[in-house]
Amino acid sequence: MTSQTIVIGIILAVLVLGGAGYWYYVNDASYAHQFIGGESISNWDFQGAYEGNAELEEKAHNEIARLEGLIDNEEDDNTDYTVYISIANQYDLLGDGENEYAYLKKALAIDPEHTGLAWHNLGALMERLGAFQTARDAYSRAVQAQNQILQYQMAYLIFLTNHFPEDAPAIEGVLNEAKLVYGDNPTLFEIRARWLEETGKIQDAIDMWKKIRSLSPQAAPVIDSEIQRLQGLL
């Protein structure tokens, strides 16, 4: 199931530092993260956005050095949590999953319960590296930490519908919990509609698109095209 959307245009990559909430100090050691279901990573490297571009790679390394100088810096406004996340993001750009993981664990050591950003980014990393059970756990923890942040709900739902589309109870559960926070949200409805189509429930998907059209009348021409396409599958 594609994660690209027609109406809302969801783009979910590694989140940066907006809307992450508050941080509660625990310690600056690494969080004792455990892989799920016996999963492990044999190759931590991937094609980062900066990889292969010498100028951009140098830029990332310089930024890492700058950020490391902010750790435990009482004069800087950033918390160590945000600094660790920022360093992890630079390693993501370099395609260095092992160091990205290491710095995400440092952020989790500071706050594993009240802030979802590190969990979300860990989920994205584990998904990229193919550890889907571990990614699922991380995405779930991001939502548990801050279910008021729509991006975390969306990321978890898209992950589940992409990799565990047969787990209807889990997907419906997350959708229902999200509805309690966001009400009739067209973005969440779109995720549901695409999942329903993927699992062969074409008429249910059409009905969901009709609900989306009522919530997003400005997108009616595009939605009508989608409905027409689905009607051709009946």
Q: What are the pLDDT digits (tens) for 132-174?
A: 999 999 999 999 999 999 999 999 999 999 999 999 999 999 9
The reported pLDDT for the residue numbered 72 is 83
Mean pLDDT of 11-35: 53
How many domains does the structure of the chain reveal? 1
Note whether residue 82 is domain-resident.
no
Bridge partners of residue 45, in order along the sequence: 96
Q: Residue 11: is it exposed, middle or buried by C-beta count within 10 angstroms (0-12/13-18/19+)?
A: exposed
The predicted structure's pLDDT at residue 77? 53
Residue 228: give the domain boundaries: 184-234
Domain membership of residue 164 (yes or no) is: no
Specify whether the CB–CB gap between 109 and 27 falls below 8 A: yes
Q: What is the pLDDT of residues 195-208, one digit of tens each?
A: 999 999 999 999 99
DSSP string covering 77-124, please? SS-HHHHHHHHHHHHHHHTBHHHHHHHHHHHHHH-SSS--HHHHHHHH
Cα distance between the two ends of the chain: 19
Query: Tell me: the pLDDT tens digits for 70-120?
Result: 998 776 556 899 999 999 999 999 999 999 999 999 999 999 999 999 999
Q: Is residue 234 part of a domain?
A: yes
214 in a domain, yes or no? yes
Q: Is residue 206 part of a domain?
A: yes
Give domain status of residue 107, yes or no.
Answer: no
Tokens read off for 194? 């695409």
Decide if 30 contacts 105 (C-beta within 8 A).
yes
Does residue 208 belong to any structural domain of this protein?
yes
Over residues 182-229, the pLDDT tens digits come to 999 999 999 999 999 999 999 999 999 999 999 999 999 999 999 999
Residue 221 maps to a domain:
yes
143, HSE (Cβ side, Cα atoms, 13 Å): 23
Predicted pLDDT at 18: 43
